[in-house]
Structure 1
Amino acid sequence: MTDTQISSFLRECVVSEDDTEKGLDFDTFYGLYISWCVLGRKIPIPDSAFKTALAVEGLKPIKDKGRRIYPGMGMVGPAARDYVMNSVPIWTETATDIPVVEIRQEAVPSIA
């Protein structure tokens, strides 16, 4: 059997956890794949081809509230760390929490 890019990705980045109802939604799964490609300097396939490749590998999603979920799937390895670290916003304050400093025109010295 030929080792494909997707089968390598699955082997390195995904674990099957049959004892859990959780899983990866499609966007997370594809984001993990993109992180794996970036770290490995590989050219990613488009999301539509990725969905087809997962089906060829025997992974079938279920629909949950309009989202495609791959049940029992979990992330592992360096690509998982990269995906999580680059997906979580560091600054979560709203614009109303940022102090506004008023600069009055007469306070600015002229350059002559």
Structure 2
Amino acid sequence: MTMFVLLPFFGVSVTFFIGRYLEKHGYQKEDVKRLHIILEENWGRGRFVKDVQEIIGHHIIAWYLLSMALFLTGNVVGAAISVVAMFLEIFSFIPIFLLMVQWTMDIPFSLYALASGEE
């Protein structure tokens, strides 16, 4: 039910961002209606098609996360706080994960160097 409630917002948001992207490439915002023709014209030329796919994909992921948070929490404020907290948690733990990977890779080499007497 929550996904269907958020579906109009998803459609408006995707249309707005694709319209802005089309304006950057010399089209008009109203050309979103003929997006399938524009994609056929530009297929295989540069990053245009890939960028449009990324815009749509990122919106699907963001709205899915928001709708699932809304479904799980039951209120809009709690859902928004949950999504923001999730992104903050992911991005704040990236340095810690990188340090853990570095230690995991470095310890065997250090132990080998200590055991063999090499530097």
TM-score, length basis structure 2: 0.30
More strand by share: 1
Structure with bigger RCO (C-alpha 8 Å, 6+ apart): 1
TM-score, length basis structure 1: 0.31
